[in-house]
């Protein structure tokens, strides 16, 4: 039966590749470019601000760090604070739309990040990856195109696995689809490359593209929640429809923005929403004029460190009012592993703990959605996962290129054959 279905599957595979090949190629190339976006952007923003290893040197209080950043900004109140366990790393304080880096020991304000050029590059890559660089008013159309390409690419990968499977399970036939061969004609070379890249990229691409489909469509997101035995959240709620589309590494869930402020938003992508940010024309008192807030923030730092002594990143979302909730994301990973972080919620006035939500305490649907989000970029498996996702994305680009080349050669060969038949009939 498989033998009779193989030609039908091949022509469907070919038609899908011709239809979406260019979009898939662009998404794979940009996905590869975004492979280490978080790490590269953090380095570009902070490498000139890093201090000598000051292990053992007393750190300044969190409230003093925030107060120094607010005083340097001149107006507005801080909305987030990021502290790192690495003693050479500066603290990051977001005031309005500006992220300032501060020495965590001396409270010296270094200024904004120095990675503007790299940030502009990643913003361009993300724009192409999500919505084919469409303008702001046409982004819905661009997202629709990339979402459809994701679904088509998923079918291509699944059908490609079946088509790759050799008719004969002899080692010679299997080896020809696993390793590159030399001395081939251009057509045979493309055929060989298509099979080799397909073999080594199939499983990672299946994970990456499936995750992209879930993030692209509410119905796919709902299917994931229902498979976990629960109803999906309302549109736009926590863990709802995805934030980006495209096969790979696309850092689809990351917004463009200044420095670690953007990183902080990515780190809390799957966590509960905090209160709205404060406007620059409100709450312009510094920390010294808000002793209650200062005490609560310093207490929050101590409690967050006590919750998980192995923490590596603490991301604070500062409340709008003293009666609001102060939330802390405690991360034991590098910022892209949802299973290694939790959320601590405290009373902003007193610093008392209101709740602690570890990853394991979330519902199965929310955990699955978090895994899917970061499986799309490979970050769920750390640096190694990102590397595998990036290499698989590059393999997807070669699959698209060789597939289009083979289809073009097939078309030209068909036209030559048709022309010869017409000429023979005329003769």
Q: What tens digit of pLDDT does each residue of 179-217 get?
A: 998 888 989 999 999 999 999 999 999 999 999 999 999
Residue 99 pLDDT: 93
Q: CA geometry: angle at 124 spanning 275 and 392, to 5°? A: 95
- Give me the mean pLDDT over the 18-43 stretch: 95
What's the token pair of residue 120?
């502009």
Residue 153 pLDDT: 97
Backbone angle region of 231, left / alpha / beta, with phi > 0 → left and psi within -120 to 50 → alpha? beta
Residue 266: pLDDT over 70: no
32 vs 169, which has greater pLDDT? 32
| Residue 383 · residue 333 · CB < 8 Å | no
Residue 277 pLDDT: 35
DSSP 35-91: TTHHHHHHHHHHTTTPPP--TTSPPPPHHHHHHHHHHHH-SS-EEEEEEESSTTSPE
- Give me the mean pLDDT over the 309-337 stretch: 88
What is the percentage of the chain residues whose pLDDT exceeds 90? 59
| Residue 408 · residue 190 · CB < 8 Å | no
- Give me the mean pLDDT over the 310-329 stretch: 87
Q: Give residues with Cβ within 8 angstroms of 298, minimum separation 6.
A: 61, 62, 63, 351
Residue 417: pLDDT over 90: no
Residue 374: pLDDT over 60: yes
Name the residue ranges covered by the structural domains of the chain: 2-37+119-250+382-424, 54-113+260-363
pLDDT tens column, 236-261 = 554 444 333 444 434 333 333 334 44
Between strands 353-357 and 313-317, the pairing is unpaired
Residue 384 pLDDT: 95
pLDDT tens column, 51-95 = 776 666 788 999 999 999 999 998 888 999 999 999 889 999 999
The mean pLDDT of the chain is 83
- Give me the mean pLDDT over the 302-330 stretch: 88
Quickly state the pLDDT bin for 121 (edges 50, 70, 90): very high
Closest CA to 379 of 18, 35, 3, 117: 35
| Residue 388 · residue 377 · CB < 8 Å | no
pLDDT tens column, 148-157 = 999 999 999 9
Residue 3 pLDDT: 67
Distances (CA, A) of 294 to 57, 345, 393, 423: 22, 16, 46, 88
What's the token pair of residue 36?
């280490």
| Residue 248 · residue 206 · CB < 8 Å | no
Q: Give residues with Cβ within 8 angstroms of 374, minimum separation 6.
A: 336, 337, 338, 380
Residue 1 pLDDT: 55
């Amino acid at each position: 039966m498989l033998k009779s279905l193989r030609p039908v599957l091949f022509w469907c595979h070919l038609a899908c590749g011709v239809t979406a090949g260019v979009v898939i190629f662009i998404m794979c190339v940009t996905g590869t470019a975004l492979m280490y976006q978080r790490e590269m952007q953090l380095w570009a923003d902070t490498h000139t601000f890093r201090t000598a290893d000051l292990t053992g040197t007393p750190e300044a209080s969190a409230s003093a760090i925030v107060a120094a950043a607010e005083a340097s900004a001149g107006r507005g109140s801080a909305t987030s604070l990021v502290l790192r366990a690495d003693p050479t790393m500066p603290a990051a304080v977001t005031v309005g739309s500006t992220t300032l880096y501060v020495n965590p020991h001396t409270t010296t304000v270094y200024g904004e990040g120095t990675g503007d050029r790299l940030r502009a590059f990643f913003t361009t890559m993300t724009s192409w990856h999500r919505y084919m660089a469409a303008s702001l008013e046409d982004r819905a159309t661009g997202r629709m195109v990339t979402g459809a390409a994701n679904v088509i690419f998923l079918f291509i990968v699944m059908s490609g696995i079946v088509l790759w499977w050799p008719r004969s399970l002899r080692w010679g036939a299997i080896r020809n689809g696993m390793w590159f061969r030399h001395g081939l004609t251009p057509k045979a070379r493309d055929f060989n490359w298509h099979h080799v890249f397909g073999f080594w990229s199939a499983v990672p691409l299946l994970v990456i593209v499936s995750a992209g489909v879930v993030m692209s469509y509410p119905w796919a997101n709902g299917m994931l929640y229902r498979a976990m035995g629960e109803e999906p959240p309302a549109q736009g709620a926590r863990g709802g429809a995805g934030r980006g589309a495209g096969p790979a590494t696309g850092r689809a869930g990351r917004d463009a923005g200044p420095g670690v402020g953007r990183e902080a938003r990515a780190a809390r992508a799957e966590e509960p929403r905090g209160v709205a940010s404060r406007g620059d024309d409100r709450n312009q008192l510094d920390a010294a004029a808000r002793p209650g807030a200062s005490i609560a923030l310093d207490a929050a730092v101590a409690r967050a460190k006590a919750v998980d002594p192995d923490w590596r990143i603490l991301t604070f979302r500062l409340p709008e009012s003293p009666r609001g909730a102060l939330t802390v994301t405690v991360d034991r990973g590098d910022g892209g592993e949802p299973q290694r972080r939790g959320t601590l919620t405290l009373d902003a006035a007193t610093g008392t703990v209101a709740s602690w939500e570890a990853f394991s305490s979330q519902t199965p649907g929310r955990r699955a959605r978090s895994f899917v989000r970061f499986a799309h970029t490979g970050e769920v498996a750390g640096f190694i996962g990102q590397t595998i996702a990036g290499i698989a994305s590059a393999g997807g680009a070669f699959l698209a290129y060789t597939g289009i080349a083979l289809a073009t050669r097939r078309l030209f060969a068909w036209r030559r054959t048709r022309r010869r038949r017409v000429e023979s009939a005329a003769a």
